[in-house]
Amino acid sequence: MVSDSRDLLALERTREYKGIYHVLGGLISPMDGISPEMLQVSSLVKRVDGESIEEVILALTPSIEGDTTSLYIAGLLKPFTKVSRIAYGLPVGSELEYADEVTLSRALEGRRAME
């Protein structure tokens, strides 16, 4: 699930995801007057409830609005299917010394074992 079509195109360029997308049409943002009812949330819940979907991957911007939207949607979908969120971290080729604390913290939280 993505916020808008530009995010969908970015994920498509990776050629890693082979599933079906759902575009929300934005993010929940009370400060901007955007509530869940203004987004494609109910249609997502209907899709997940009506189809046998193994997992919903939340690919939303790492921001307060993205976090709020992810928590809200995860709460709605967990009774029906597995819900996960893409990892956050450092861009390839970047230097650690220039990364902000939040990015470094999220990179540490999302770490994986070496294979």
Q: What is the pLDDT of residues 85-110, one digit of tens each?
A: 998 888 888 888 888 888 888 888 88
Closest CA to 19 of 10, 27, 11: 11
Tens digits of per-residue pLDDT, 28-58?
999 999 999 999 999 999 999 999 899 999 9
Q: Where are the chain's structural domains?
A: 5-87
| CATH (one of 3.30.70.60, 3.40.1360.10, 3.40.605.10, 3.90.1640.20) for 5-87 | 3.40.1360.10
Concatenating the DSSP letter of every residue in 5-57 gives HHHHHHHHHHT---S---B-SS--BGGGTB-GGGTTHHHHHHHHHHTT-SEEE
User: Which pTM value belongs to this model?
Assistant: 0.85
The neighbouring-strand residues paired with 55 are 82
